[in-house]
Amino acid sequence: MHKLITITSLIILLPALALALSWQERPDPLKPIRTMEFTDYETGTIVTVTIDDSTATYKLEVPEEIVEEKYEGKAETITDPTLYPDFVTASEHAEHQVLPSLELCGQRGKFTDDGAYAAVELQLEAGAGPLEGGKVAFLKRLYQLTADKEAGSVSPAKDAYHNAMVFITVALLLTSEDGTPPSTINIPDDVLEEAGEQMKVFLEEDQLHSKPLGFYTWSKELSHIFSRDRWLMSKLDTSDTEELGLALALCDIITSDTALSAQHTYVINLYSRLTNPPSVMSIDGLIELAGDPAVILTDSGALEAFREKLNPDPDKPPVEFALFPPSRSKEVDLVNKLMGLPAVAGSIMDVLIEYIRKGEISLAPTKDSGWYEYQQYALECLLKVKETPEGEKLKMNEGYIKRLEEAFRTMLTQARETHIKQLDMVIGTVAAPEMVLEIDVSPNFLLEPLPTYYLRVARAYTFLLDMLESFLGKDLLGRMHGVREDGESEMNLAEELVSMQELFYGFYLEACMDIGLTPQPKVIFADPEDAIKRAQDWLLDWKSDPLMGQDIRVIVPMGPTGFGDLNCWCVMGIRPIMVTVSYVDKPTVTVSDPNAVVDVVYPSQTYSILMPVFSEVIIPGEVPLTRDEFRAVCDKYQTKEKIISALEKGEGSSINPTKSSSGCFPGGLPGWLYIVVGVVVGTAVVVIAVVLVMRRRRRK
């Protein structure tokens, strides 16, 4: 009878018991020791189980890429699952408890990153540091000094200064709301006419560079900043006499004015740290080689001699100059070094990953690196988990390794999109116990356990905060606010960056505790207990963060293929995937009641991870898609394969594609014509071969 009552009680209390067992407490938030309490209904005593995860190692597995969906009650296996635009929506379609993934945590940072970058752009427009009056005031002053030089010079210098006036006027027109020049400066009609024509060509025929992308579509002011700055980043070919003259004229004007020179250096240095160092030569480099540019400009012979000095080998690419150069990146440097090999192989991303894994490229930042390289370095550990401190505790199957590779792809794309204007592009359960207490001890994670990634992100925010304080000053940074598509952040920018630094430090500490890894003792960004508590609060209630319900889908142009098409990286949406976590080496488990008869079992834990989906696609034409244009295609087709097919056919583009959906090859010729030509040529070769053989036989 006693046993019957006990078993009946256990059956009634089973749900509550399961809940109690799933609740775990960490007495010391900075030690990987957790406890569980439950009642031994056989004796009526409270039993405390202590689990020390420092001795444990884990196996993380992602099953085969098979998704089952039901249609009218019938299960059907499909390989192209539905993609969702945001993490909250995707979580509603997850089969298991959602484990906050690297991408989910990283996306929270992405929203801050876009807002911070946009805020810096707007502050530069308003004026920061020595840039009094902002970039427009800089351009006005530059124009006026150039006009004065042009008026007092003769050819070839006069032509070079005239071209500089036109170049600067285009930038001023691109800045204005209505495409007219500022009323405070007098621009001759012929200069205005030339500038208008060049601006029209830039906006209409070079949309690869002029079309605002990313967060720059949030407002007209940001859109104008994008197009104007992209114009000012135009690369001048120093092997061309006219373009070299323009470059020398710009150098001469800026270096002749102390204030302009200081402002120009300030802007270049800021972008060098905000994104990365310049990819091509600018004023300092050209001046170092030229000496006095004004002297060279007065003599056609000297100009020609300097052109040849810069470009002595006609078989090598010419030296390029930009007034405000784009920033380099290791992925573009690699592609250009390989002279277009990735375009032939089909994927820039695949080549980049291969070189990182082989150790032929390191993403570790150097003393000259900008924020973008710190962001990339945080992602590198996803491809090299074995080389991280957690590598000895985490064993991964092939599916999980591929899952981390996909995370690298999507998160690098997201980071690159933040820097889209500035970056250069490429050239081409519980069982019912009876007499024995059965205790389930499973891995218990609050987030995906890659602590090195979270630590490096925290360090990247430290770099960004220190860099912005040095360029903008603490007072100004304390008055600025991160930009949002629908307004601005409530925190000032300094507070928001410190907040993100502490949040990712908390993620790092929590990830260490979850897998029983001792945090690096010298790494302290904030009070550790406060940081880990803040991270836990966010991880347990991330859906309430309004930013996490925002669309994450983006498309980033990497550069033209050389065949009239555009190579792009895309994040097309989010899909839930299943992840199982099990012990390889078990944790140390102790029970408070030495008389309790306990059977400890170690079942695996199953989670759903919300994984953004990446693809590298070739779209017809060389006009990039905005976020809205790309997202419209994703909304229409919803699965990866269908979205890729639509993009390759030119859907979403505002222009007629150069490659039709009926199957055209580069150059616009239909595919069937190539087949016919191939058959004709092949037949002709066979006929000629037969004739030659017959002739040889006759001679014999």
Whether pLDDT at 635 is above 60: yes
Mean pLDDT of the region 68-90: 70
- pLDDT-derived band of residue 659, with 50, 70 and 90 as boundaries? very low
- Would you say 481 and 493 are in contact if contact means Cβ atoms under 8 Å apart? yes
| Per-residue model confidence (pLDDT) at position 662 | 34
Please report whether residue 555 resides in a domain.
no
- pLDDT-derived band of residue 433, with 50, 70 and 90 as boundaries? very low
Of the residues 272, 287, 321, the one at which a domain ends: 321
Please report whether residue 528 resides in a domain.
no
CA–CA separation, 667 and 94 (whole Å):
45
CA proximity to 247, closest of 287, 299, 199: 287
Please report whether residue 567 resides in a domain.
no
pLDDT above 70 as % of the chain: 83
- Would you say 555 and 569 are in contact if contact means Cβ atoms under 8 Å apart? yes
Total number of domains in the chain: 3
- Would you say 112 and 497 are in contact if contact means Cβ atoms under 8 Å apart? yes
In the chain, the amino acid numbered 498 is V
Q: Three-state SS for 131?
A: strand
Please report whether residue 275 resides in a domain.
yes
* CB proximity list for 81: less than 8 A, separation 6 or greater: 67, 69, 575, 639
Same domain assignment for residues 141 and 289:
yes
Give kind and range of the element (H or E) at residue 497: helix 493-515
Same domain assignment for residues 278 and 182:
yes
- Would you say 149 and 161 are in contact if contact means Cβ atoms under 8 Å apart? yes
Question: How is residue 614 written in tokens?
Answer: 């990446």
CB neighbours (10 Å) of residue 419? 23
- pLDDT-derived band of residue 370, with 50, 70 and 90 as boundaries? very high
- Would you say 47 and 596 are in contact if contact means Cβ atoms under 8 Å apart? yes
Same domain assignment for residues 187 and 313:
yes
Same domain assignment for residues 132 and 51:
no
Give kind and range of the element (H or E) at residue 576: strand 565-583
Of the residues 55, 73, 91, the one at which a domain ends: 55
Question: How is residue 7 written in tokens?
Answer: 């078993």
CA–CA separation, 637 and 647 (whole Å):
10
| Per-residue model confidence (pLDDT) at position 68 | 42
- pLDDT-derived band of residue 600, with 50, 70 and 90 as boundaries? confident
For residue 75, with 0-12 CB atoms within 10 Å meaning exposed, 13-18 middle and 19 or more buried, which class applies? Answer: exposed
CA proximity to 572, closest of 217, 191, 172, 86: 86
Same domain assignment for residues 140 and 274:
yes
Please work out, in degrees rounded to the nearest 5, the angle formed at the alpha carbon of residue 354 by the alpha carbons of 351 and 358. Answer: 140
Same domain assignment for residues 17 and 134:
no
Whether pLDDT at 331 is above 60: yes
Mean pLDDT of the region 648-664: 59
Residue identified by tokens 């244009």 is 629
Same domain assignment for residues 145 and 276:
yes
| Per-residue model confidence (pLDDT) at position 316 | 87
Same domain assignment for residues 49 and 171:
no
Please report whether residue 261 resides in a domain.
yes
Quick one: three-class SS letters along 363-410?
CCCCCCCCHHHHHHHHHHCCCCHHHCHHHHCEEECHHHHHHHHHHHHH
Please report whether residue 516 resides in a domain.
no
pTM of the predicted protein model: 0.85
Of the residues 258, 293, 321, the one at which a domain ends: 321
Which neighbouring-strand residues pair with 670?
664
Same domain assignment for residues 176 and 315:
yes
The more confident residue out of 103 and 561 is 103
- Would you say 222 and 118 are in contact if contact means Cβ atoms under 8 Å apart? yes
Same domain assignment for residues 157 and 305:
yes
Q: How far from the centroid of its chain's Cα atoms is residue 537's Cα? A: 26
Q: What is the DSSP string of 605-621?
A: EEEEEEEEEEEEEEEES
Mean pLDDT of the region 334-356: 75
**Structural domain harbouring 206:** 128-321
Residues 116-136: pLDDT tens digits?
999 999 999 999 999 999 999
Q: Could you give phi then psi for residue 258, rounded to 5 degrees?
A: -60, -45
CA–CA separation, 110 and 103 (whole Å):
10
Question: How is residue 46 written in tokens?
Answer: 């409270």
Please report whether residue 597 resides in a domain.
no
Please report whether residue 35 resides in a domain.
yes
- Would you say 479 and 546 are in contact if contact means Cβ atoms under 8 Å apart? no
Same domain assignment for residues 136 and 261:
yes
Same domain assignment for residues 134 and 274:
yes
Q: Taking the alpha carbons of 158, 159, 164, 169 in that order, is the dihedral positive or negative?
A: positive
Give kind and range of the element (H or E) at residue 581: strand 565-583
CA proximity to 136, closest of 102, 107, 173: 173
